A and B are shown apart, each in its own frame.
Chain A
Amino acid sequence: MSRWIEVCALDEIARQGSRVVASTQGGIAIFRTADDRVFGLLDRCPHKGGPLSQGIVHGDTVTCPLHGLKLGLADGEAVAPDKGCARSFPVKVEGGVVWLQLG
């Protein structure tokens, strides 16, 4: 059963930044883009497990800090020619509050 869980205020995540949420499924990185959209990805790069939350956010993409893989924030898919996918989680903002859905 899926449930929405309150994460934090949107203001507590920097633009082009992220925060990490602890969960039983591992750390989940919540990203905020320059235009205030939020996305959630498992905080593990499919390449060598790098913490995606620590990467640079640009457009709809994050670049992994360890070896520079680029992943789409919306679906976690690596940008070609790289391959791989990080699990994504539904995230929404309501009334300035960020919510995360855990499956």
Chain B
Amino acid sequence: MRKENLVVVGNGMAGMRAVEELLKLAPDLYRITVFGAEPHPNYNRILLSPVLAGEMTIQDIVLNPLAWYAEHGIALRLGRTVAGINRARRTVVADDGSEVGYDRLLLATGSTPFMPPIPGRDLPGVISYRDIRDTTEMIDAAGRYRHAVVIGGGLLGLEAANGLRQRGMDVTVVHLMPWLMERQLDRAAADLLQASLEARGLKFLMERQTEALLRGESGRVVAVRFKDGLEIPADLVVVAAGIRPNTALAESAKLHCNRGIVVNDTMQTYDPRIYAVGECVAHRGIAYGLVAPLFEQAKVCANHLAHFGIARYTGSVTSTKLKVTGIDLFSCGDFMAEKGGVDAIVLHDPGGGVYKKLVVRNDTLVGAVLYGDTADGARYFQMVKDQQNIHAIRDQLLFGQNASVGDAGHAGNAHAALLPDDAEVCGCNGVCKGDIVKAIKGQGLFTLDDVRKHTKASSSCGSCTGLVEQILASTIGGAYTPARSKDKAMCACTDHSHGTVRQAIRDLHLVSIPAVMRALDWKAPDGCASCRPALNYYLISTWPGEAKDDPQSRFVNERAHANIQKDGTFSVVPRMWGGLTTPQELRVIADVAEKYRVPTVKMTGGARVDLLGIRKEDLPKIWADLGAAGMVSGHAYGKSIRTVKTCVGAEHCRFGTQKSMGMGVKLERMLFGMWSPHKVKLAVSGCPRNCAEAGIKDVGVIGVDSGYEIYVAGNGGIKTEVAQFLCKVKSDDEVMEYSGAFLQLYREEGYYLERTCHYVARVGLDHVKAAVVDDATQRGELYARLRDALQDYEDPWTQAVQQPAVRREYEVIQLVETKG
């Protein structure tokens, strides 16, 4: 088959990202030619500022070395500008007169710096700040001259000024507007920023209009004169007055442009054979200058170039982070709060160097500016993107300090910017801040997932995710964008989110993993270790009795009904209902521990006994012995009901108001065999002294004289979350019904590996109350579905003991050597 010709004009980040995405989807569809005006392979333009500041070199920031182009058979024409497009003949003409034909054309011409019409702008020593050439010219000037003037106090101008200052120049920033970065910051934050930059030796001239750049005797620029007559010396003038989409080529080809090459949601221009991505594009009237939206566009464009035809780009919410080492600044969304119907929640502490403003419209966060403490930036940005209702947390929203960072594993540090390079960020995998920064810069990483893959940081318990996001954001600036939660793909096997997949399983009545993968166009034929367990859970929880449980799609612990340990042995935890046991049970456990030489016997946090260090082949034998005494699986290994912890309660305790042990046993028996998105722990306390610690459980029940209070969505793990009050009830039966209905709602709506605290944070406590407390019919139905799903559950240990086919899974094959 004849390969189609794809010509890409522009060898920058957007164009090459589109090519990379295309090669992933359809590696052999096109013969690809790339034109690049610069003499360099694709590099990470975002990191020019660290290069200027002397923190990195040009070699460090190359994203696609020349070998990459060769490897993919891409014809790369470096240092070549495309002079024209002949749409009738479908060819592009290069500046050397050569002509290349295309079936599809991708324009990724980027943007050009805006050069205001100031006399003297053509003098030697006057440059813009856009590419490697500008950067090397600045570095060179810094070594030879003293006075630098940066015209423009925006993001780029400040990064240039900082870099030049770092290289020892005397730098003055000139800005037309009353405050810096007026497109990203409000005045209060900008004033703090200016003060901080002044402390580093930068000078500022605000509300000044440049009249002329003056020529010295050598012919080079020597000074800047302003409209008010002031003159300051300047051996180097960097003009950073904004960028303009580079539409010259498109306009010469009569493609419709309006402050950018106009494209539709599939990144197609008005000529259906011509696509465009990146800073040159105007999508729904917006031209983006940050890399995150460009990558989203590239992905959509590649999908259509690959003839998949399903992706749409619908615009981006952007965030800004200044890449000046040691300055913590973040803004996102609509942060000015100038329009009506909008509230600003503000914390302003100039002495402490902290400013926070949250802009709220109709109980939804629409924008944020943070200065000095950006620990919650990623979380606020996520809320803006998710359009999450914040009604219930409005009064604490501003003080959600460090909410995106777990409580343990990083020595209490919540502010990445303050950490030295050798500070351990990820306590699970021993990854330091310096390792992460090095990987982001060296490997060209842009997403949290990339960082997890390459460094292992935040890939185990996730406690440090917020810190890693901060490091990512401060290293690559506005390039970092978390995905909208509801759009986040489950894993690399699919573009669908957990929510979409759950919905499809229900709507299309899908009852097996292959059926789901077929219906939703899974990319890997049998998925991966991440999506298969999720799909298995969604199927059995949506269609109990109908969907068949697939053991091969369960993590080993749930397949072996025991917890795997670091040396490959397992642990066995028999169930002790409500934490109660008997002398006879304890005797059998002691016998088992001796008989199988169990090296370690300990109490778990859930008030039962853990037998550790057991070989897999011994598991069924131990279960047989325990089972003979009536003991069953404790499911200490599952995304399932774990324990119901109880205090002594009114049965014995002189303070007890309710019989917490009895209540706990009833709850645990009801929930036996309940699989859930993640593990589920309950506790019942007999009085408000709360000895069973019900305040940090998924469901916590606290007895009071007149009945029980029910709390939900607590968590004592990575991030301690206090359970929230759900309702008060009078009887034991009501405790069962309300708790059961809540857990069933979580089972039906939760995403796999989402604890109840995360689930409730996502859907809101109001949603839970509406279903479980306010609506008796819905509560009854939820409760009935839970009991229905659990009615036929059999103890998995008994099954493994009794069924030879299951038992075989635990046996090691001994080889019989045969001769001949």
Contacts and interface: CB of A to CB of B under 8 A. Distances in A.
B630 interface: no
A19 B813 contact: yes
Nearest to A98: B813
Given A14-B809, A65-B556, A68-B459, A34 B526 contact: yes
Contacts of A34: 525-526
A56 interface: yes
B564 A54 contact: yes
B553 to A, nearest CB: 7
B67 interface: no
Given A49-B568, A54-B564, A67-B460, A6 B529 contact: no
B808 A54 contact: no
Contact of B813 (A22, A49, A51, A63): A22
A48 B87 CA distance: 59
Contacts of A48: 566
Interface in A56-97: 56-59, 61, 63, 65-68, 70, 81
Contacts of B560: 54
Contact of B529 (A5, A23, A55): A55
Contacts of A10: none
B524 A12 contact: no
Contacts of B817: 3, 5
Nearest to A33: B526
A69 to B, nearest CB: 10
Given A56-B553, A56-B555, A21 B528 contact: no
A22 B528 contact: no
Nearest to B557: A65
A6 B818 contact: yes
Contacts of A61: 528
B552 A22 contact: no
A20 interface: yes
A59 B813 CA distance: 24
Given A12-B808, A56-B553, A65-B555, A6 B526 contact: no
Interface in A15-31: 15-17, 19-23, 27, 30
Contacts of A3: 817
Contacts of A66: 564, 566
A65 B553 CA distance: 12
Contacts of B566: 48, 66
A13 B812 CA distance: 12
A70 B492 CA distance: 14
Interface in B524-564: 524-529, 532-533, 551-553, 555-556, 559-560, 564
A58 B812 contact: no
Chain B contact patch, size range: 20 to 34
A17 B526 contact: no
A67 B528 CA distance: 15
A54 B556 contact: yes
B70 interface: no
Contact of A58 (B460, B527, B568, B815): B527
Contacts of B552: 14-17, 56-57
Contact of B526 (A8, A19, A50, A58): A58
Contact of A20 (B453, B551, B559, B812): B812
A81 B568 contact: no
B812 A27 contact: yes
Contacts of A19: 812-813
B812 A68 contact: no
A50 B568 contact: yes
Contacts of B459: 68
Interface in B560-605: 560, 564, 566-568
Interface in B615-672: 616
Contacts of A55: 529, 556
Nearest to B450: A81
A63 B443 CA distance: 24
Contact of A7 (B460, B526, B813): B813
Nearest to A50: B568
Given A49-B568, A65-B564, A66-B564, A56 B532 contact: yes
Contacts of B526: 16, 34, 58-59
B190 to A, nearest CB: 40
Nearest to A61: B528
Contacts of B808: 12
Contacts of B568: 49-51, 54
Residue of A6, A16, A27 with most partner-chain B CB within 10 A: A16
Nearest to A17: B552
B1 interface: no
A42 B564 CA distance: 18
Nearest to B815: A5
B251 to A, nearest CB: 43
Contacts of A30: 813
A8 B564 contact: no
Given A20-B813, A49-B567, A49-B568, 20 more contacts: A3-B817, A5-B816, A5-B818, A6-B816, A7-B815, A8-B813, A14-B552, A14-B809, A16-B552, A16-B553, A21-B812, A48-B566, A54-B568, A56-B552, A59-B528, A61-B528, A63-B528, A63-B529, A70-B529, A81-B453
11 contacts: A5-B816, A34-B526, A48-B566, A51-B568, A54-B616, A56-B532, A56-B553, A58-B529, A59-B524, A65-B555, A68-B459
Interface of A: 3, 5-8, 12, 14-17, 19-23, 27, 30, 34, 48-51, 54-59, 61, 63, 65-68, 70, 81, 100
